[in-house]
Structure 1
Amino acid sequence: MDDDTTAPTLTIDFCGERHVCTPGSTFSVGRDADLCIDDNRYLHRRLLEFERVSGMWWMTNCGQSITVGVATADGTYQAMLGPAGRMPLVSSPLSVVFSAGPFTYELGVIPEGSSANPAPDAVLSAPTSTDTALSSTLGATTFTPSQRLLIIALCEPMLRDGMAGASRIPSSAEAAARLGWPITTFNRKLDNVCDKLDRDGVPGLRGGVGKLARNRKSRLVEHAIMSRLVTPTDVALLDAGQPREIAP
C-alpha cells in the first residue's frame, strides 16, 4: 500500500486545465465524471478512470465502444486501449486521444514519479478488449489487393504520424482521390470490407441489418491499426500504383 501522504500524484491536462489525481481515490473522465469533457451524447458518461494501485498509477477504459489511443510525446511508444482494457502509466508524459461521434479529444497524462517503470512492450494489460481478442480472426480475413489498398488509404495519417494522425481520418472523397478511384468504386469497396469484417465478428462496422454504422471508417481504422492488419511500411503501396483488379 502507498503512503497517501508521500505517494506521487498524477496530473490530467485538458485544454490547458489541469486536474490533480491523488492516491487513495479514483479520478474519472467522461461526459458526466470528475472531469467533464463535453456534453457530446456519443461520449460515455465515464470513459476513463485513473487510480493508484500496487505502487503505480493505472488507466482503465471503462467505456463500452470507444478505443483510446496512447502515445509518448516523441511518438516512440504508441498503443491502443480497448473497452475494459487497463494499463499502468509510465513516468514520461503521455498523450491520450479518443473519438466520440464526429469529435476527437486529447488529454495530457503526466505521472509525477512512479515506483515502477514497465517496458513499453509490457504496458498493455492482459487481452480484455474485443479488438485484441479478435486479432487472430482478423488475420484470417482475406482481402483483395484493392480492398487492402482502401484500408491503407484510410489508415495513412496514423501510419505516417501515429496517434497525431488519429483526428485526420480521410473523408471518402479524399481517400478515393488518393487511390485514383471514382467515389462510387470507393464506397462499394468500403461496403465490401466492412461486410467481411462484420461477418468475422468485428463489432461496430454496421448499425443494424442493412444499415451501415455512421462512424464505420473510424472504427475500421482503429481495428486495422490495433490488430496490425496494416503497418507503416504498407504506405509505400499507395505510391506504387493501384492494382489492375478493382472490381470486388
Structure 2
Amino acid sequence: MHDYSDARRNMVLSQLLTNKVTDERVIEAMGAVPRERFVPASHRAVAYVDEDVAVGHGRFLMEPMLFARLLQAADVKSNEAVLDVACATGYSTAVLARLASAVVALEDQPELAEQASELLDQLGVSNAAVVSGPVVDGYAAQAPYDVIVVEGALEVEPKALLDQLADGGRLVAVMNDDGRVGRATIFTNYAGAIARRTLFDASTPHIAAFRKKVGFVF
C-alpha cells in the first residue's frame, strides 16, 4: 500500500500552517488521521489536495484548510461531546475523536454511514459512534452537545441543531443564506440565547437537506 505520510505532512505545512491554523491539537489530529482511507480508491492520489474531495452520494470531505479553521474556531476541549453532522465516510469524525471526549457522527446516507462506522472501527476509534438519520434533525437522543460541526454549506439556519447545543456550546458551519458568498460562521449558546458571528469568507459544497425550499411563483 502506498505511504501517504509525506502527503499528510505536506498538507499540514502548506495548507494549515500557512493559513492561520495555529491550534496545536488541530494540527496534530489532522497530521495523524489517514485522510486517504476515507476517499474512494480512485481518489486517493488527490486526498490531500487543497480542494473538497467527493466521496459519493453528494458528500465531500471538506477542504483541509477550511475544516481546520472551523475546528480551531470551535475550540473543542478534551472533555467535550461533539455532534458531527453529515459525516460522510467519517474522516471528520476521526479527527474530532482525537480532540473530544465523545463524538456522535450523523449521516442520512445509509451506505456512507455504514462505511464510516467500518473505517472508524478499523482505525481503532473507540470514542465515536455513527448514527443514521435526517441531518436537519440532529440527534436529540444524545443532546446536548458542547460542539456541533456541520460538514457542508447551509442556506438556512440549522434550528434543530442549535436547539441541541449545551449552554456555552458552539456550532460551526459555512453559511450561505444570503445567496451570495459563503461565510464560515460560529453560533454560540448563551443561556438559551444564540449569538451568531461571521469568521471569514468560505466556500464548500452545499448539503442538500439544508437548502432553502423553493416555493411557487405566480
Fold conserved between structures, TM > 0.5: no
Taking structure 1 as the reference length, the TM-score comes to 0.29
Taking structure 2 as the reference length, the TM-score comes to 0.32
Larger Rg belongs to: 1
From the two aligned structures, give the one with the greater strand fraction: 2
